[in-house]
């Protein structure tokens, strides 16, 4: 992340879409090319052998990119996570497979609210007005934008069990579905954005509801692991284990880049 920012003078986008675009998805305003933050980091993670096989001018789901985007990238996998490490099926809301992407056990922080849950349009479609974290659709966040401080701002967190995630990107119209359709509560599939992003809460739809890592009522759009909490990467490069029992207001404050909160937490 730091090397990318040094080279590009901004952090990678949560994922990229071209707006407007003839293939714009009417409900979500997602569109090609769909590439996500993990893909943009490959050259900075000794992943040039994968990046060189991708045509970034094409959508991430294009057949010409099929072999490269199914690659397993070890740095995006948690060594202790249960289940398979191989590629995941990207499906639409009917369950049809629309792409196959490499797996990730980590998702990037969009902030407290979930921009994908808002009606999409000229204002809402521009997530700068909704996202309070460092990564979102077409984000261009710089170090100077993170006024709350890199050491207390969450960049990336662990999601390994209740749904599959990817390092590659999103497909317009796809969904992120729970692995166990009988899990209770909150088993609904969510927007394609949650294949690569998470939020802490509260959201406009759930005022006052905040979900620390592995909280029992976490959706597919929050952090979840087999542990009583989860590993989190902060903007300064430090990695900390955040317990489920963390004060929820502190957790929500850690999700913002410019909330002007004073965070006092002992790791």
Query: Tokens in use for 233?
Result: 């990467």
Strand-strand pairing, 174-176 and 165-166: unpaired
Does residue 183 register a pLDDT over 80? no
In percent, how much of the chain has pLDDT > 90?
87
- Range list of H helices, 2-54: 2-8, 37-41, 48-51
- Cβ atoms within 10 A of the Cβ of 213, count? 27
Q: Assign 149 a pLDDT band (cuts: 50, 70, 90).
A: very high
Mean pLDDT within 48-75: 97
Q: Assign 117 a pLDDT band (cuts: 50, 70, 90).
A: very high
Does residue 230 register a pLDDT over 80? yes
Question: Model pTM?
Answer: 0.96
Average pLDDT, the chain: 95
Task: Give yes or no for a contact between 93 and 181, defined as CB atoms under 8 angstroms apart.
Answer: no
Q: What is the pLDDT of residues 185-196, one digit of tens each?
A: 667 899 999 999
Domain ranges in the chain are: 2-254
Task: Give yes or no for a contact between 180 and 153, defined as CB atoms under 8 angstroms apart.
Answer: no
Closest among 225, 176, 196, 197 to 109, alpha carbons compared:
197
Q: What is the pLDDT of residues 42-55, one digit of tens each?
A: 999 999 999 999 99
Q: Assign 184 a pLDDT band (cuts: 50, 70, 90).
A: low
């Amino acid at each position: 992340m730091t090397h990318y920012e040094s080279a590009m003078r901004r952090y990678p986008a949560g994922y990229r879409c071209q707006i407007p675009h003839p293939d714009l998805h009417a409900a979500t305003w997602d569109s090609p090319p769909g590439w996500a933050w993990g893909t943009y980091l490959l050259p900075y993670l000794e992943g040039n052998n994968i990046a060189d096989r991708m045509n970034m001018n094409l959508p991430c789901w294009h057949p010409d990119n099929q072999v490269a985007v199914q690659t397993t990238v070890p740095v995006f996998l948690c060594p202790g996570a249960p289940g398979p490490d191989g590629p995941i099926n990207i499906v639409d809301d009917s369950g049809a497979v629309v792409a196959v992407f490499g797996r990730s056990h980590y998702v990037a922080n969009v902030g407290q609210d979930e921009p994908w849950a808002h009606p999409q349009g000229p204002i809402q479609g521009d997530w700068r007005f909704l996202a309070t974290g460092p990564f979102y659709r077409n984000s261009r966040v710089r170090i100077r934008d993170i006024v709350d401080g890199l050491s207390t701002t969450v960049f990336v967190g662990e999601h390994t069990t209740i749904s599959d995630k990817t390092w590659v990107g999103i497909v317009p119209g796809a969904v992120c579905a729970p692995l166990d359709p009988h899990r209770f509560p909150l088993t609904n599939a969510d927007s394609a954005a949650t294949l690569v992003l998470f939020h802490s809460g509260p959201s406009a739809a759930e005022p006052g509801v905040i979900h620390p890592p592995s909280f029992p009522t976490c959706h597919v759009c929050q952090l979840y692991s087999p542990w009583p909490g989860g590993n989190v990467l902060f903007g300064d490069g430090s990695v900390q284990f955040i317990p489920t029992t963390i004060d929820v207001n502190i957790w929500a404050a850690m999700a913002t880049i410019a909330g002007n909160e004073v965070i006092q937490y002992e790791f």
